[in-house]
Structure 1
Amino acid sequence: MAGKDSGHTSFSPDIIPPPLKLSWITERGFMDTYPPPGVIVSDNIVYTRDVLLNGSEFETGTGARATVNGSLIWRFSGASPAVAYHDYLYAWNNESVISLKNGMEVWRQPVTGPNSPILYKDLLIAGNVTAFHHHNGSVIWTYHPQLLVQETRHTRIDSYLPLTAGNETVILAINSMESELADAGSGSGASTAGDSRTAFAYKSSPDEQSCTLIALDAASGKERWIQKIPILSGSAPVISGDRVFIGGNATVRSFWLNDGSEIWRAALPGYSRTLSADPEFLIVDDRFGHNVTALRLEDGKTEWIYESEGRSRSMSIAGPVLYIVGTMPSAGLVALDIKTGTPIWEKEMPADWTSISSQPVISGDTLYITTMTGKTYAFSPAPQDQNPRPNPLPSSEIVLSITALICIYAVTRRES
């Protein structure tokens, strides 16, 4: 997951049955970003984003740690981990993609745009948008999005969502807020005599909010289709099978990957984030509320709703179990049956866990979570009692009841 999960399904076939126990905790340095990035796991190494103090400035780097106990193996400065392939790690720093092996740099390529690399087949895809061959860093293709040029009296702010890839398709998603500039008015003092320019004022709220989905052919980078939908999305699109899903302002939509035509849309209260999917269900989170909702992938119908006590939730699926970690007012880890939404286990987090956490990352028999306080936690299945105790002796109340029945029976026999 986390980089390898190019479709952002947050689904792992690895089964980690609850209950879980805390295996180890490691320090990653100082306070991290919001939200903190999840770990990368490959070949018995867990890669973490470390924030260290270098002189008087904070420096971001990558820490490689043993999965067995979290002990540090090596550290690389100046770039955060993005995705791993066997013993290769690909890191980035908003300017470059860097290939590392055993902490040593193999190749480095410049990128433009804020998108962290994802790995899809032999392609390392990053920025807005360049596809590299993951082995040698050679450029396979580059795509430059051609957004509509705004008019003089309009202002638009664009923000890019994480890249998504699957089923031979790469999805570039762009949130946009556009407003028409209002006249500042003659009393504003912005225009003076002899100046023919007109002063404009920014509006407090945008006139139009939209998310543009651009589908690219994964092999060539050629544009397949574009869909502009009237929502702002709070999470990356999710690709499952031959469909792409995206959520936003009180709605979730499903599109065919081959042509971008809409399949279904579901109205949900709140600000919907598409966070994970298994072969049957799409898991949607109300960002500012309490509801976690399972929609059927096929038709968008609601299968179940779970009301969470915690806020700032993130989640991942391990086979038949959905794990949810949340904070505010208190931190906790909850396991749900993915088919019914029924809680099957929960655990209160350690007392020092007071900050926002990353998405749970599942690899093998371990679940990893990082927090903004600069710590990484590893959980594994708690040992089960292999030799269950025999049934306990009857309680004193039961013994007294049986004794009374025997006495009554004896008296009755004597009288007869």
Structure 2
Amino acid sequence: MNPLSTGDPLRLGPYRLLGVLGEGGMGKVYIGQDNTGHTAAVKVLRPELAHDQNLAQRFVREAQMAQAVTSTGVARVLGAHTEGGRPWIATEFLTGPTLDQAVGAHGPFDDSAVRALAAAIARTLTDIHTAGLVHRDLKPSNIVLTSSGPRVIDFGIARPEHGLTLTTTGEVPITPGYGAPEQVLGQRAGAPADVFSLGAVLVYAASGARAFDGGHVAAVQYEVVHGEPQLDLIPEQLRLLIAPCLSKDPAFRPTPGQITGAFAPPRGADRVWRHGPLASDIKQRERTVHELTTVVSGSGTSQRISRRRLITTLAVGGTVLAAGGGSAAWWIRGHEEPDPFALPPAAKTPEARTLSATTVSGRKPTPLWGPLPVITKDSPGPLPVRDVIVVGAKNGGIAAHSVIDGKRRWTAPEVDVAGGYRSLSDGLIAAVDTKGMLVTFVASTGEPRWKVPAEAKNIVATDDIAVYVATKNGRLRSISRSNGETLWTVRVPVDLKTKSPTGSAARGRLVVASGAEAGDVVAVDAGDGHELWKLVNPSSIDGAPVSPVISGDIVYINGATLTARSLSDGNELWASSSIVEGKTQPAGPPLVHGNTVYVSQGPQIGGYSDEEGAEEWTSLKGYFIYSPVAVQGNGVFAISSGSAVPDVKVWAIEQDTGKKAWTYPLTKNAGRYWVVGDGNRIFVRDGQSLLALPVFA
């Protein structure tokens, strides 16, 4: 997001322009706001190109195509001016990640989510084809996931089914791997071409991998025309439904209506847009956009936001929203100056191969790699971030190791490991150096990025807007991710000096727990730091650390028991306790996985419905007191330490039965232990050693 510059219009039609979303050799896309406060993405052809007949024709055609489709599954055109002056098109903002962003951040969709996606896009294609159009460029980046469902954007190369292409000789008007064979061969492409593209999209959604791939564009296009789609990573039931969409012969592909019926998502499948990690992502973006485009006066009336505030805040943490009109590759090709605060793209997560449950049952697993003696005794728990796992390095600072083989990728010796480390949208690692500076590094490579003075002692939490730190004098401070400025500093009624505080931030709230024994929990407004509510001493009798976790509108707080509380006011929604011989067993750090909250409670691991607190799963008995919990594949993993003899083991428990699948012995009296999962791997801290264990399907 850049400010307006000399030569930029201040207004186009009813829209006051606030800033530039993107620009290139062909034109610009602005963010605009009308007199009612509604925002739009306003796409404008450069004035010097307005007289280029081919480009002007293409611009006008895009406006006409988009306006012709009235489906709720596409981005609405709010207005357009295509004759005289500077042609422009205004489309609604769609607040949410694109499909490729969602899969990159949250992993492949499960069966019901793929079915919901397929049915929704198929209905939209029906509307597009009913209008007499063919989209011709359906791909993950042209599908925006909103709280009301998927929306298709970018009619930049759409055309009437009977029309001819407007591309010039040698131009490839499709995205390699998603365009149909007839498009690759330059033949007439009708509605079945969009069905082929939908099939390729569903392969990506279900597996995180492309249906057709190759070392270069020509190789990919050859595979589209002559090769077979790569469907090995897709469950068989979905594979049988998707494969017909990818038929080489358009006549053998199903119609969008047939797809809607065949995929038949189960009742409640569209819940994926409203609950769970993806829904939380969407809701956070909605909240951010609303806060960015309105301010509230003392009388409670809404006012338009200033350009400066909008530009400053929209730059935070990468893409917050998607311009409804899209921006096809032909449109934005510009390059911006390097910005140390710009979020680098997150690396892909290399997925390990899962094992068969029958082959590993009852057997000690062979580690994927390790144990490696690489962790300092004061290190926090290992932090997996896509293709690396970050730990406190034995020789000082922090180090990142490859998740594939454990080899060290990079180190940052200047970091004070006692201050902790956090991931910023999986693109950066934030930490505190020995001088109290807040420092960041590219997660995959270790490249230093921005650093700012913060007087920081510990990192408490992060969200899309800021990094929240505890200062050396015990105050809570918010540091902007967009420019490193201090947004606010406050004193809160919890001890931030005695031990390392913990926290969680989301949806405009920050919940902080004191690291000290008998500590309290406080929630503050992430916008200005003012106190919202406080929970007095939820800790267990021996003062084990409290680790709040926010998911959706709920914060889960462990300690003497596990409670689910309203994020807005702290009111208890439900509580769960495990009582053994009349004694309440303390709850370890909670893990939210899907719609289930997992937590260790003395001799057992429990799984509870995130909204109602109903018990959904329980393990057999061990001694899991204070253990973290990890969920990967079909397993729930925790550390059992033994009540009488310090016999420490990682337990793998079958998710569908609650029975023990296998155990892996750890070093006795090694000090600190931890377990965390990602990418079909279980990462284990065994004292000062790090290892990775396999998971089973």
- Whether TM-score is above 0.5 comes out as yes
Cα distance in 2 between the residues matched to 1:310 and 1:92: 32
Indicate yes or no: 2:636 matched with 1:322: yes
Alpha-carbon distance, 1:171 to partner = 0.2
Q: Counterpart amino acid of 1:216?
A: V
Deviations 1:229-266 (A, max 9, x none): 564563211222211222333x3322111122222334
Alpha-carbon distance, 1:22 to partner = 0.8
Indicate yes or no: 2:413 matched with 1:70: no
* Contact 1:64–1:73, Cα closer than 8 Å, also in 2: yes
Indicate yes or no: 2:576 matched with 1:252: no
Q: Counterpart amino acid of 1:120?
A: D
* Contact 1:282–1:297, Cα closer than 8 Å, also in 2: yes
Deviations 1:10-63 (A, max 9, x none): xx9x89665464111163447513xx52323335233221122xxxxxxx2112
Secondary structure at 2:459 match in 1: coil
Indicate yes or no: 2:42 matched with 1:42: no
Alpha-carbon distance, 1:315 to partner = 1.7
Match for 1:165 among 488, 496, 505?
505
Aligned to 2:423: 84
Secondary structure at 2:491 match in 1: coil
Aligned to 1:130: 477
Higher share of residues assigned helix: 2
Q: Counterpart amino acid of 1:170?
A: L
Alpha-carbon distance, 1:319 to partner = 5.8
Alpha-carbon distance, 1:224 to partner = 2.5
Aligned to 2:659: 343
Match for 1:282 among 587, 592, 597?
597
Trace 1:61-210 onto structure 2 (pairs within 5 A): 61-79=397-415, 80=417, 82-85=421-424, 86=426, 88-93=428-433, 95-101=436-442, 102-111=445-454, 114-127=457-470, 128-134=475-481, 136-146=483-493, 161-174=501-514, 209=518
* Contact 2:400–2:408, Cα closer than 8 Å, also in 1: yes
Secondary structure at 1:22 match in 2: coil
Deviations 1:117-158 (A, max 9, x none): 53322422222422223354332333321569xxxxxxxx96
Q: Counterpart amino acid of 1:77?
A: P
How many positions carry a matched residue from both structures?
Answer: 319
> In structure 2, do the counterparts of structure 1 residues 271 and 322 end up closer, same or farther at CA, with 3 Å as the change threshold?
same
Aligned to 1:273: 588
Structure 2 residues not aligned, in runs of 5+: 1-104, 107-276, 278-348, 579-583
Match for 1:263 among 570, 573, 584?
573
Deviations 1:271-309 (A, max 9, x none): 2334323344333324xx423333443343444353115
Deviations 1:188-227 (A, max 9, x none): xxxxxxxxxxxxxxxxxxxxx5x53322223443332233
Provide TM-score, normalisation by structure 1.
0.64
> In structure 2, do the counterparts of structure 1 residues 105 and 214 end up closer, same or farther at CA, with 3 Å as the change threshold?
same
Cα distance in 1 between the residues matched to 2:494 and 2:663: 47
Deviations 1:145-194 (A, max 9, x none): 1569xxxxxxxx965641112333210123777xxxxxxxxxxxxxxxxx
Alpha-carbon distance, 1:364 to partner = 1.6
Cα distance in 1 between the residues matched to 2:625 and 2:571: 34
Q: Counterpart amino acid of 1:277?
A: V
* Contact 1:45–1:65, Cα closer than 8 Å, also in 2: yes
* Contact 2:503–2:511, Cα closer than 8 Å, also in 1: yes
* Contact 1:120–1:166, Cα closer than 8 Å, also in 2: yes
Alpha-carbon distance, 1:378 to partner = 1.5
Question: Once structures 1 and 2 are overlaid, which stretch shifts more, 261-270 or 110-119?
Answer: 110-119
Cα distance in 1 between the residues matched to 2:608 and 2:641: 24
Provide TM-score, normalisation by structure 2.
0.40
* Contact 2:558–2:588, Cα closer than 8 Å, also in 1: yes
Aligned to 2:627: 313
Structure 1 residues not aligned, in runs of 5+: 53-59, 149-156, 178-208, 385-416
Indicate yes or no: 2:631 matched with 1:292: no
Cα distance in 1 between the residues matched to 2:569 and 2:626: 34
Cα distance in 2 between the residues matched to 1:62 and 1:175: 21
Cα distance in 2 between the residues matched to 1:119 and 1:104: 20
Higher share of residues assigned strand: 1
* Contact 1:245–1:274, Cα closer than 8 Å, also in 2: no
Secondary structure at 2:568 match in 1: coil
Cα distance in 2 between the residues matched to 1:381 and 1:325: 15
Cα distance in 2 between the residues matched to 1:174 and 1:312: 17
Cα distance in 1 between the residues matched to 2:692 and 2:515: 34
* Contact 2:375–2:690, Cα closer than 8 Å, also in 1: no
Q: Counterpart amino acid of 1:366?
A: R
> In structure 2, do the counterparts of structure 1 residues 76 and 322 end up closer, same or farther at CA, with 3 Å as the change threshold?
same
Cα distance in 1 between the residues matched to 2:383 and 2:516: 30
> In structure 2, do the counterparts of structure 1 residues 309 and 267 end up closer, same or farther at CA, with 3 Å as the change threshold?
closer
